[in-house]
Amino acid sequence: KGEIIKIIERASSQILARVKRTKRETVTVPVHRNSGIPFLWIAQEDDLPELEPGSLVEVELLEENKHSKKSSPAPSGRILRALENTSDHELGFQLIINENLIRTEYPQEGLKYVKKFSPQVRFDSSSGRRDLRDLDFVTIDGKTARDFDDAVCVIPDIDSGGFRLFVAIADVAHYVRPKDPVDQEALIRGTSVYFPTHAVPMLPEELSNNLCSLRPNVNRLTLTCEMRIDLSGEVIGYSLSESIIRSRARLIYEDVADLLDGRTSSISSPELQANIRKMDKLAKILQQKRIKRGAVQFSFAEEVFEFDSDQQMTGIGRSYQSSAMKLIEQFMLEANETVARHCVKNRIPALYRAHDRPDMRKLQKLQQTFFRFGVKTSLSTLADPKKFNEVIEQIQELPHFEQLQVLLLRSMALAVYQTTNKGHFGLAAEYYAHFTSPIRRYPDLVVHRAIKEKLHLDQGVKSKHEPMPFVNNEMAEQCSQQERRAEKAERQSIDLMKVDFLAPHAGQTFQAMVTSVDNHGFRVNLEPHGLEWFLPLESMTDDNYIYDEIRLSLQGRRKNRTLQAGQRLEIRLLRADPIHRTLEFEVERWLSLNNNQTTKKQ
């Protein structure tokens, strides 16, 4: 047992709260139920006569308790601002921002720093840059993308009969120098954060959406990885160079996928169509190479939000990775592996992307579960990337496929950033680093600087700028932590969108399909919206349910009913709370698989 003596530091010093007045003083009560703070004493009460009880405010926790003479141990705070006319959605979103320490305002010093750069990019023949503007580079991204990190081009390799793949990445390191105001803020942020309706960029938008973005028909500075690839997909030669390119077209995934899949596409240029098909041919060769060596082939559907012109959500769909997405993914993976190998071979200090083998304890439980469903496998098979895909193939036709696939994913280690190359289990890659997204990921910027420093050293070019900071474990951990924080905020914002969408339907019933269960409850897919949500055990009031982790089911103690993936239910939405991102459902009745018979709750 232990006792908390003193709070040394809080994760966040800013809290959203509501004003509460008593006869003697003013306090604020945090909006978030799990803040751990019952209320805050407010310093400088004389400045707050205009705030009515119930007013929403942002409060800064003070390091010292200004009301230490009071009997209550509650901390003190200073009101930063009143938040007037704030909707529940806006309040819920602000809670996500505060909880995850997302920095939404860029420091003025950083904004002033980027104004010194010329908006025009001109080629200087004495710079040592490779002029690649004669090549037919294109970018392929989502419809709403504004920051284009990468452009690609494929031409024949005459000598080998294979391909020359050019992956040109925005040369962010040319603009963002070590220890400058933008660099310091970028390290703190670590990554851009992508919400369903907007993004919080790692860099000022003048860089992320303009100077560094590889927009069509304008000169842009890049760091280019050129790879000579034979017909089996092996890299037989490569070069890294500072370069300048001029993208020919800004393409979107949907249009490219339409072309590749034989549907009517808006891409009408015969030359562009031929280039895309050439790229697809190489991408498929690279994909087969990775599958053959054991890259894990999970198949997860992604929830896709549909919005109207006012950015109001109109529905939710599910989509799998398209042929166009796979094309770009293969090119980015090849560049990342090539760069990682280059850094290791040349002993260049950099940040690497490491993905360890699965947890053996989790695999042991998983083996028992698989055996229960008729899938015979061994621990050595589950721990071998070359055989991992065989297991995925065996479970694909099972009713519990989605849940079993999730369990496989959860058995795997988290990918993290490290200062040494450890390889990547999921990709079955001996070498791996992040190189292709320096606009939105700080580790990529670190890798770019390392490459450029080696290039300058080889060319005898003396840098006029700050030397590259020492790459250490603290930097790697900071980047890993910020990535996890951003992912959590993104997940929470998705939940908020779902709650907003269903809030007007409180009191209504929905038919739902159980997709997975665990010891806390079960996940359902709501029909017809396609929306997935987790229901705790308390939502089933007809019995007490026990989780069977081998059978992946919930067993009723009294009625002996079994809830598992595939079971259809009718559930009622009792209430929706956007502020805390919660939907409260109650199971009304169980539906049979053929929907002709029902069992009401009792």
**CB-CB contact of 202 with 208 (8 Å):** yes
Domain ranges of the chain: 14-86, 108-347, 360-411, 506-600
Burial 507-524 (b: 16+ CB within 10 A, else e): eeebbbbbbbbbeebbbb
Architecture of domain 14-86: Beta Barrel (2.40)
* Residues whose CB is less than 8 angstroms from the CB of residue 243 and which lie 6 or more positions away in sequence, other chains included: 129, 130, 131, 132, 168, 171, 221, 222, 223, 224
162-170 vs 193-194, strand pairing mode: unpaired
What 3-state DSSP class applies to 131? strand
Residue 336 pLDDT exceeds 60: yes
Min mean pLDDT across 42-56, 132-146, 358-372, 467-481 is at 42-56
Angle between helices 181-189 and 442-459 (to 10 degrees): 130
- Per residue in 290-333, pLDDT tens? 999 999 999 888 888 888 887 778 888 888 999 999 999 999 99
Structure confidence at residue 595 (pLDDT): 44
- Per residue in 530-547, pLDDT tens? 899 999 999 999 999 999
Note the Cα 161 to chain centre separation in Å: 38
Task: Give the C-alpha separation, 129 to 125, whole Å.
Answer: 7
* Residues whose CB is less than 8 angstroms from the CB of residue 345 and which lie 6 or more positions away in sequence, other chains included: none
- Per residue in 501-527, pLDDT tens? 999 999 999 999 999 999 999 999 998
**Percent of the chain at pLDDT exceeding 70:** 92
Tokens of 322: 């398209």
Preceding amide of 178 cis, omega within 30: no
Note the Cα 87 to chain centre separation in Å: 26
Task: Give the C-alpha separation, 153 to 169, whole Å.
Answer: 12
- Asked if the domains 14-86 and 506-600 are classified in one and the same CATH topology, the answer is yes
Task: Give the C-alpha separation, 243 to 132, whole Å.
Answer: 7
Taking all residues of the chain, what is their mean pLDDT, rounded to a whole number? 90
Topology of domain 506-600 in CATH is: OB fold (Dihydrolipoamide Acetyltransferase, E2P) (2.40.50)
Task: Give the C-alpha separation, 56 to 16, whole Å.
Answer: 7
Structure confidence at residue 596 (pLDDT): 43
* Residues whose CB is less than 8 angstroms from the CB of residue 493 and which lie 6 or more positions away in sequence, other chains included: 93, 96, 195, 196
**CB-CB contact of 273 with 259 (8 Å):** yes
**CB-CB contact of 548 with 542 (8 Å):** no
**CB-CB contact of 335 with 149 (8 Å):** no
509-518 vs 521-527, strand pairing mode: antiparallel
Min mean pLDDT across 187-191, 249-253, 256-260, 384-388 is at 384-388
Structure confidence at residue 536 (pLDDT): 96
* Residues whose CB is less than 8 angstroms from the CB of residue 237 and which lie 6 or more positions away in sequence, other chains included: 227, 228
Structure confidence at residue 397 (pLDDT): 85
Angle between helices 253-260 and 270-293 (to 10 degrees): 90
Model confidence at 602, pLDDT cuts 50, 70, 90, reads very low
Task: Give the C-alpha separation, 597 to 585, whole Å.
Answer: 22
Model confidence at 146, pLDDT cuts 50, 70, 90, reads confident
Structure confidence at residue 594 (pLDDT): 45
Torsion of CA 180, 181, 183, 187, to 10 degrees: 130
Helix extents (H) in 416-464 = 442-459
**CB-CB contact of 580 with 519 (8 Å):** no
Could you give the C-alpha distances from 465 to 173, 175, 329, 416, in angstroms and in order?
11, 11, 34, 30
Structure confidence at residue 69 (pLDDT): 47
Structure confidence at residue 54 (pLDDT): 82
Residue 469 pLDDT exceeds 90: no
